[in-house]
Amino acid sequence: MASKPPSLSRNTANIHHPYQAPEGFVSPQVPIYKGSTVIFPNTAAMRERQWLDKSSYTYGLHGTPTTFTLEERLASLEGGTHCILTPSGLAAIAQVDFALLKTGDEVLIPDNAYAPNQSLASGELQNFGITHQRYDPLNLDDLAQRISSKTRLVWLEAAGSVTMEFPDLVAQVALCKTRGVLCALDNTWGAGLAFNSFDLTPGQGTEPLGVDLTIHALTKYPSGGGDVLMGSIITRSDALARTIKLSHMRLGTGVGSNDVETLLRSLSTLEMRYAAQDHHARELARWCEGQSVFAQVLHPALAQSPGHMHWQKLCVSQQYPQGRAAGIFSVVVDTRFSNAQVDAFCDALRIFKIGYSWGGPMSLVVPYQKQNIRTLPSPHLQPGTVVRFCIGFEDVADLQEDIKQAIHAVLV
């Protein structure tokens, strides 16, 4: 160890301690580099550094080796070339809106989108003179008719939040390309695993057909712990990446390296967790189909679920003949039962906890009243209260018993 310079006080010497750990420590996990300040060897070096790519470091907000590593891994996992991290999934949605929209523009949002995406549009975006419309995710003509010369951005979600309809994503993206509007996919459900966002029809056509951007709530699957909030924006477009990066820096929405390290740690098991939760959720969803108190089970891999054919087209492949899906599904409780009874059913569950989010170790449940989450007619949904189940890592038999006892306690 190098000795401290003798002329400094112990306190100053402690801050400017010359010891440097040797290079060459190798372990499976990436080190956590933390820093708001990045130290430059001299002023010329400070002026030369630029922050728009990953070739050097300037300031913590612009990235550290730890954040760059997560960004690179997430981008390559999804087949993108650029990734920008945000403090939450919702912040990623907001960042895309703020970077791409200006007064006079319009944004189109599916009627079954993650609800805060719509709240942002009717709040801040409206205040900034940016209009929005909701479109029917299962009706391509409805989307086509709503695209106008004002439309700058179309949000896509597959499957939709809560009601789980799976849109014809290939046709929606092709439509956006034909009409010259940008499309951004909230790909939290697919997690970059269920299908190929940037090449939706692999092997067909000369140019890949893909979305312009994706956002993810890393809070869900990539974290897997129910303990971190983070989001990502991924694209293959250099121009879009630059536009978003510039806006990201102006808004100052960086992420902390400790959280990034948690994500890096979880990312290695993403594939296995996704597959296991898919498997368990499908088993339970199929069992729920046999329960007379449920008028409908909404899971895109079930033949009766709205948009099942679109799911099949996108998520079933030679490698995955059973297709891929997230570990989340909803049931519509029969109209015989009041909203209060459905609340009581959720309260009677013992293993399922009442709480938002998904992708973590613990199974969760939330009841929703359709009139609060939908504005357009949805004839493919049975009337009744919607209950969403997010499946964790518990044994399916225990989860099934739990639903069974809550049905018997409250609904029959």
Ligand X SMILES: *Cc1c(COP(=O)(O)O)cnc(C)c1O
Question: Which positions touch ligand X (CB under 6 A)?
Answer: 88-90, 114, 161, 186, 188, 217, 219-220, 229, 231, 357
Nearest residue to ligand X, using CB? 89
142/305 Cα distance (integer angstroms): 20
Give the shortest CB-110-to-ligand X separation in angstroms: 11
* Residue (123 or 205) nearer to ligand X, CB: 123
Cβ–Cβ under 8 Å, residues 246 and 197: no
Buried/exposed code over 206-228 (b: 16+ C-beta within 10 A; e: otherwise): eeebbbbbbbbbbbbbbbbebeb
Cβ–Cβ under 8 Å, residues 360 and 326: no
Give the shortest CB-11-to-ligand X separation in angstroms: 41
Output the six-digit token pair for 182.
Answer: 């940008």
- 250 Cβ partners below 8 Å, 6+ apart? none
Q: Which amino acid is at 366?
A: V
Give the shortest CB-368-to-ligand X separation in angstroms: 13
109 forms beta bridges with 134
Give the shortest CB-88-to-ligand X separation in angstroms: 3
Give the shortest CB-194-to-ligand X separation in angstroms: 13
Give the shortest CB-395-to-ligand X separation in angstroms: 25
* Residue (229 or 348) nearer to ligand X, CB: 229
Largest alpha-carbon pair distance within the chain? 83
Q: Which residue shows structure tokens 């897997």?
A: 224
Q: Which amino acid is at 337?
A: F
